[in-house]
Structure 1
Amino acid sequence: MWHDPSSAAARQVRAWRAEGRLAEAKLLRALADQPTAEWIGDQPRQKAHRVTESARASGRTPVLVGYHIPYRDCGNHSAGGAPDGAAYRRWARDLAAGIGDREALVILEPDAVAQVVDGCVPAELRGERLDLLRHAVVTLSGLPGTRVYLDAGNAGWVPDPARLVPSLQRAGIAYADGFALNVSNFHTTRASVDYGHRLSRHLDDAHFVIDTSRNGRGPAEDDGLGDTWCNPPGRAIGQPPTTRTGRPRVDAYLWIKRPGESDGTCRGGPPAGQWWPSYALELVRNVGG
């Protein structure tokens, strides 16, 4: 898989080396040298073309995250997205055009289906959201070198995976290569595999991928300071990305969330998606602890 040599982690390593902070720079190489996903919201055609072209030149496959659904994140830390359904359909077509015939693995719309199931999406928008997801799945899966995994939440969100099935089906899971779990979350690989197998049985043994970027210590306990998924302390990076999972239905362990990027303005963090070097360093230091 492809990794970005100009990622925030890589730039931080170079900056710390220049400042003489060699021990910290060495630690952060654990992030900078790993393939992580590229999140694509605005300017999908340009961004997808740049990443997939760079990846093809290096003989690697990039992981892309399509993240632009209307009413994204139910208006929370990662609010935004397309202003309406027509704009989203154009966005999906532009993303596909940017990828073209180059290889890509696309994680489609983290949280979007689970938010329909848990009720945070207003009732009048739920059907449209699922139909928009279906349009994006069909559009992207028609590309010759693209694999598509529709996000299905995480092991701690919708305890009974059967509740996700009708929404995933309407959202076009049958046209995708499978589903994705644990994106930007902290549930252990074992818990995610178990949950994925339970969901897979309802979906004709669909395959799935798991985000292991920050699950080295599993989820945090409630400290009373906010949501446990938002910049929790004491977490660690998880298993490095690989397609060699040893499990027939688990296609890959991936770093979909970019370790070191904030979940939002909680626990002293910057806005969602911004690089936070002290948190990145903590994730590395806590490995094996």
Structure 2
Amino acid sequence: MTASIAASMVILAVLAGAQGPAAAETAAPFSRPLYLEADTDASRAQTRLLAAGDPAGAAAMGQIAAQPTAVWLGEWWAEPLMRSKLRRHVAAAAAQGTTTQGSTTQGATLVFVTYAIPYRDCGGHSGGGTTYEAYLDWNRVIAEELAGTGAVILVEPDSLSSLAAAKCAGEVERRPALIAQAVGILADAGLATYLDGGNSNWLGPAAQAVWLQRAGIDRATGFFTNVSNFYPVQQESDYAGKLSSRVGWKHYVIDVSRNGRGWTGTWCNPLGAALGANPRPTAGTTKLDALLWVKHPGVSDGPCNGGPNAGVWWDEYALALVANRG
């Protein structure tokens, strides 16, 4: 059995088994195809490898470049540049569409990740963020530019799960309330928001539910799991179903960008990791709304296992993810 067939069988099993109350609801945020960004690290690497006389490497890199990935938004862009980039993505998504059996679907679903929470990563590899005073205004810019687009916003990966760690003790009181305010701003603009649901090997559904409730899950569309991590779809879906039951049967999405071989011993640039299933919206008959590539395959987790700093593109790792997929 090939890796792709096996992955498809796992996904079908998940979709058949992830039922809960009101499972017949349609997940409106993902009613259109996912937006495919034209200019990404992967597409640039593909061009570079082809120009360097490495057609095999370029073809392998093309397997990443051909798939939709979430667009990350952070404090690294000043407001005018962020507005410009958001407008460019909105225009590009509006122009995308698919034609099947004679009918055309116009437009694509934009998926963004907000990643600017103050004291991000609480001093870890992915440190940064805005100031507390600037954070809500930063979210208002996003809301203004994306209002009416039907975009999906994955709000601040790791922001809630990490609050259980001692290094984040100073954020326990103020961060959930700040996220709840941001969710309100984004939801008021008609945007679908998903909050940090951790993963199946972190806090557990009961503890994670408390953080989600404190951070405004009642106003959010749902939560996400497995972002930048490696756990299998079935394991994540089992966990997410338990978490959903504790937060009003909210919907969820799973990051499958690098979980093709599951957990291989570490979260930071693990050797042997592989691309997961290609991202796609699910059928809309369960609480699982979509399988997404949130983490960009090929972006380093940090200076470990020979990798560059967190957030930096790494050709060799990207190619290894493709090769390990089989």
Distance in 2 (alpha carbons) for counterparts of 1:114 and 1:60: 30
Q: Structure 2 residue aligned with 1:90, among 137, 152, 155?
A: 137
Find out whether 1:283 has 2:321 as its counterpart.
Answer: yes
Query: Letter of the aligned partner of 2:280 in structure 1?
Result: T
Distance in 1 (alpha carbons) for counterparts of 2:229 and 2:280: 18
Q: Structure 1 residue aligned with 2:182, among 136, 141, 151?
A: 136
Kept after mapping to 1: 8 A contact 2:152/2:192: yes
Kept after mapping to 2: 8 A contact 1:40/1:48: no
**Within 5 A, what are the aligned runs for 1:177-196?**
177-196=221-240
Q: Show the counterpart of 1:225.
A: none
Kept after mapping to 2: 8 A contact 1:64/1:106: yes
Kept after mapping to 2: 8 A contact 1:117/1:164: no
Per-residue deviation, 1:111: 0.3
- Number of positions where the alignment pairs a residue of Structure 1 with one of Structure 2: 278
**Within 5 A, what are the aligned runs for 1:144-183?**
144=190, 146-158=191-203, 160-183=204-227
Q: Show the counterpart of 1:7.
A: 40
Find out whether 1:257 has 2:295 as its counterpart.
Answer: yes
Distance in 2 (alpha carbons) for counterparts of 1:149 and 1:193: 15
Per-residue deviation, 1:122: 2.1
Distance in 1 (alpha carbons) for counterparts of 2:167 and 2:246: 24
Per-residue deviation, 1:247: 5.7
Find out whether 1:105 has 2:152 as its counterpart.
Answer: yes
Q: Secondary structure in 2 aligned to 1:264? A: coil
Q: Secondary structure in 1 aligned to 2:154? A: strand
Q: Structure 2 residue aligned with 1:121, among 146, 158, 168?
A: 168
Segment drifting more, 64-73 vs 48-57: 48-57
Kept after mapping to 1: 8 A contact 2:198/2:208: no
Q: Show the counterpart of 1:76.
A: 124
Q: Structure 2 residue aligned with 1:19, among 42, 45, 52?
A: 52
Distance in 2 (alpha carbons) for counterparts of 1:232 and 1:245: 32
Q: Show the counterpart of 2:253.
A: 209
Kept after mapping to 2: 8 A contact 1:66/1:108: yes
Q: Secondary structure in 1 aligned to 2:118? A: coil
Q: Deviations over 1:203-260 (max 9, x none)?
A: 1111100000000000112xxxxxx111011000001111125760100000000000
Calculate the TM-score normalised by the size of structure 1. Answer: 0.92
Query: Letter of the aligned partner of 1:60 in structure 2?
Result: A
Q: Secondary structure in 2 aligned to 1:175? A: coil
Q: Secondary structure in 1 aligned to 2:289? A: strand
Query: Letter of the aligned partner of 2:124 in structure 1?
Result: N
Distance 1:119 1:45, change over 3 A: farther
Find out whether 1:29 has 2:62 as its counterpart.
Answer: yes
Structure 1's consecutive aligned runs of 4 or more residues displaced over 3 angstroms after TM superposition are 43-47
Q: Secondary structure in 1 aligned to 2:184? A: helix
Per-residue deviation, 1:57: 2.6
Distance in 2 (alpha carbons) for counterparts of 1:170 and 1:2: 31
Work out which structure has the larger RCO, using CA pairs closer than 8 Å and 6 or more positions apart in sequence.
2
Kept after mapping to 1: 8 A contact 2:144/2:189: no
Kept after mapping to 1: 8 A contact 2:299/2:313: yes
Distance in 1 (alpha carbons) for counterparts of 2:91 and 2:142: 14
Distance in 2 (alpha carbons) for counterparts of 1:201 and 1:118: 25
Query: Letter of the aligned partner of 1:251 in structure 2?
Result: D
Distance in 2 (alpha carbons) for counterparts of 1:5 and 1:153: 29
Per-residue deviation, 1:40: 0.3
Distance in 1 (alpha carbons) for counterparts of 2:289 and 2:273: 25
Q: Show the counterpart of 2:73.
A: 40
Kindly, what percent of the aligned residue pairs are identical? 43
Q: Deviations over 1:45-91 (max 9, x none)?
A: 343333223212322112100000011011111100012x2211111
Distance in 2 (alpha carbons) for counterparts of 1:207 and 1:38: 21
Distance in 2 (alpha carbons) for counterparts of 1:287 and 1:246: 27
Q: Secondary structure in 1 aligned to 2:299? A: coil
